[in-house]
Chain A
Amino acid sequence: AQSVTQLDSQVPVFEEAPVELRCNYSSSVSVYLFWYVQYPNQGLQLLLKYLSGSTLVESINGFEAEFNKSQTSFHLRKPSVHISDTAEYFCAVSEQGGSYIPTFGRGTSLIVHP
Chain B
Amino acid sequence: DTGVSQDPRHKITKRGQNVTFRCDPISEHNRLYWYRQTLGQGPEFLTYFQNEAQLEKSRLLSDRFSAERPKGSFSTLEIQRTEQGDSAMYLCASSPEVGTEAFFGQGTRLTVV
Which A residues are closer than 8 A to B by beta carbons? 4, 6, 9, 32, 34, 36, 42-46, 49, 51, 90, 92, 94, 96, 99-107
Sample 25 A-B pairs with CB under 8 A, ordered by A number.
A4-B42, A6-B42, A9-B40, A36-B104, A43-B4, A43-B91, A43-B104, A43-B105, A43-B107, A44-B43, A44-B93, A44-B104, A45-B104, A92-B42, A99-B48, A100-B98, A100-B99, A101-B45, A102-B33, A102-B45, A102-B102, A104-B42, A104-B43, A105-B42, A106-B41
CB distance from B99 to the nearest CB of A (A): 6
Contact status A44-B91, CB under 8 Å: yes
Residues of A within 8 A of B91 (CB): 43-44
| Residues in A whose Cβ lies below 8 Å from that of B40 | 9, 106-107
Return the chain B residue nearest A42 by Cβ. Answer: B106
Q: At the interface, is chain B mostly helix, strand, loop or mixed?
A: loop
Which A-chain residue is minimally distant from B109 (CB atoms)?
A: A41
Residue pair B101, A101 in contact (C-beta under 8 Å) = no
Distance in angstroms from B40 CB to nearest chain A CB is: 7
Instruction: Please name 6 further chain A to chain B contacts, defined as beta carbons within 8 Å, in addition to the given A46-B101, A100-B98, sorted by A numbering.
Output: A32-B99, A43-B91, A46-B103, A99-B48, A106-B40, A106-B42
Closest to A32 in B: B99
CB distance from A7 to the nearest CB of B (A): 13
Q: Give the shortest distance, in Å, between B55 (CB) and chain A (any CB).
A: 7
Task: State A99–B50 Cα separation when bound (angstroms).
Answer: 10
Provide the residues of chain B in CB contact with A6, threshold 8 Å.
Answer: 42
Please tell me which one of the listed residues B45, B99, B101 contacts residue A103 in the complex, with CB atoms under 8 A apart: B45
User: For B102, what are the chain A residues with a Cβ–Cβ distance below 8 Å?
Assistant: 102
**Which one of A51, A101, A104 contacts B56 once the chains associate, using CB atoms below 8 Å?**
A101
* A92–B48 CA distance with the chains assembled, in angstroms: 16
Q: In the complex, what's the smallest C-beta–C-beta distance from B51 to chain A, in angstroms?
A: 14
**B99 pairs with A51, CB closer than 8 A:** yes
